[in-house]
A and B are shown apart, each in its own frame.
Chain A
Amino acid sequence: MGNQSSKGIKVTSQDKAILDLKLQRDKLKQYKKKIQVVLDSEVELAKDALKKGDKKRALLALRKKKYQEGMLIKTDEQLETLENLTSSIEFALVQKDVVYGLEQGNKVLKEINQEISLDRVERLRDETEEGIAYQEEVSAMLMSNISNADEEDVQAELEALEQQERAKLPQKQTTFPEVPKDKIEEPMDLPKVPEGIPEDKQPEKKEPLLA
Chain B
Amino acid sequence: MNSEIYNFPPFFTRQPNETTWQAQLSHWKDVILTHSRETKQWRLSNTDSIFENKKIQRRLKPDVIQLVLSDLVSNKKADWVDSKTKTEVWIWWRSAEEWATLILAWIDSTGQNGSIVTFYDIAGDDSPGVPEMVGMDSTMLHKVCQVLVHQGKAAVMRDEDGNEVGLKV
Where the two chains meet, the residues of A that have a C-beta atom closer than 8 Å to any C-beta of B are: 1, 4, 6-11, 15-16, 18-20, 22-23, 26, 29-30, 33, 90
What is the interface of chain A mostly: helix, strand, loop, or mixed?
helix
A20–B116 CA distance with the chains assembled, in angstroms: 10
The answer to whether B115 touches A8, judged by C-beta atoms less than 8 angstroms apart, is no
* Contacting residues, chain B, for A26 (C-beta < 8 A): 118, 120-121, 124
Which of the candidate stretches B2-10, B87-95, B151-159 sits at the interface with the other chain?
B151-159
- Within the complex, the shortest CB–CB distance from A32 to chain B, in Å, comes to 9
The answer to whether A9 touches B152, judged by C-beta atoms less than 8 angstroms apart, is yes
Given A15-B157, A22-B166, A26-B120, A1 contacting B152 (CB threshold 8 A): no
* Contacting residues, chain A, for B115 (C-beta < 8 A): 1, 18, 90
* Contacting residues, chain A, for B168 (C-beta < 8 A): 9, 11, 15, 19
The answer to whether A19 touches B155, judged by C-beta atoms less than 8 angstroms apart, is no
Chain B 107-142 interface 0/1 with A at a Cβ cutoff of 8 Å (1 = within): 000000111111011001110000000000000000
23 interchain pairs, CB-CB under 8 A: A1-B114, A6-B152, A7-B152, A9-B152, A9-B154, A11-B155, A11-B157, A15-B116, A19-B157, A19-B168, A22-B117, A22-B118, A22-B166, A23-B120, A23-B165, A23-B166, A26-B118, A26-B121, A26-B124, A29-B126, A33-B125, A33-B126, A90-B115
The answer to whether B149 touches A8, judged by C-beta atoms less than 8 angstroms apart, is yes
The answer to whether B165 touches A9, judged by C-beta atoms less than 8 angstroms apart, is no
- Within the complex, the shortest CB–CB distance from A63 to chain B, in Å, comes to 28
A-B contact count (CB 8 A): 55
B31 within 8 A of A: no
Where the two chains meet, the residues of B that have a C-beta atom closer than 8 Å to any C-beta of A are: 113-118, 120-121, 124-126, 149, 152-155, 157, 159, 165-166, 168-169
* Contacting residues, chain B, for A15 (C-beta < 8 A): 116, 157, 168
Q: Which are the 5 A-B pairs with shortest beta-carbon distances?
A: A1-B114, A26-B120, A9-B155, A18-B116, A22-B118
- Within the complex, the shortest CB–CB distance from B61 to chain A, in Å, comes to 43
- Within the complex, the shortest CB–CB distance from B121 to chain A, in Å, comes to 7
* Contacting residues, chain A, for B155 (C-beta < 8 A): 8-11
The answer to whether B116 touches A22, judged by C-beta atoms less than 8 angstroms apart, is yes
Other than the given A18-B115, A23-B165, 17 more pairs (CB < 8 A) read: A1-B113, A1-B114, A8-B152, A9-B154, A15-B116, A19-B116, A19-B118, A19-B168, A22-B117, A22-B121, A22-B166, A23-B159, A26-B120, A26-B121, A29-B124, A29-B126, A33-B126
